[in-house]
Amino acid sequence: MPVLIACSMLRRELEFLIRKHDLSLRTVWMEKGLHEYPQKCRESLQREIDACGEGEQVLLAYGLCGNATLGLHSGGRTLIIPKFDDCIRMLLAPDEPGEIPVDPRSLYFTEAWIDSEKFLFRDLDSYVDAYGEKRGMKIAGKMIGGYRRLCLIDSGDFYSAAAASRLREEAKKWGLEYGERAGSTRILEKLLLGKWDGEFCRIGPESTVDYSHFEDRARCADWYGGAL
């Protein structure tokens, strides 16, 4: 039976797909905030991999994620990892393999990110609480000064009016535009169904994940077609 080790930020999407296809696999849900600490994330992932049985296929619902997956050792297992920078890029991947259209001036969110205790704007609000409205807003404004839009990823089954309303309110509060982008669970579905083509890294037994496994990953391109 395959083992799925996944970031909890993707839990809603993955559980939906598991039910949809009536899949049987063991699942391990990792802490949401680990992405902020790549070394800690790598160590936590390695512990879970090491706990898997010899000869098992381990599906990692992660990308590079700040290089957190680099250095993972498969031991006696096979690791399958989507060949993407992070989960946001996976959800924005087009229907056909190729460049991922991303606006570098936008911050992208899913409903799970908005509901998370790690939601960016919870931190920004804390500056206002700590330093007062005027100074706090100034500090927070510098942190998001390079962005112009907050964008909700709409992947159909995981879109909610409540999430849209919350993000729209934050955009208005911080003087940013609000937008929505069509998303897709195509990559996650391929991961679960064993359709591991060139969009995935396949790490054989007794091997270590390194950057070469991700070199030909899908690149981001801005709205004007310039590669990022």
The predicted model scores a pTM of 0.88
Beta bridge partners of 177: 149
DSSP 8-state secondary structure symbol assigned to residue 34: G
Residue 226, domain member (yes or no) = no
Calpha distance 223→204 (Å, rounded): 37
The number of folded domains in the chain is: 2
Tens of pLDDT, residues 121-147: 777 777 777 787 778 777 777 777 789
CB 4 within 8 A of CB 188: no
Tokens of 16: 């939906």
Whole domain around residue 127: which residue ranges?
95-182
* 99 and 173 both lie in a single domain: yes
Least confident of 54-58, 63-67, 101-105: 101-105
Tens of pLDDT, residues 182-219: 899 999 999 999 999 999 999 999 999 999 999 999 88
* 99 and 172 both lie in a single domain: yes
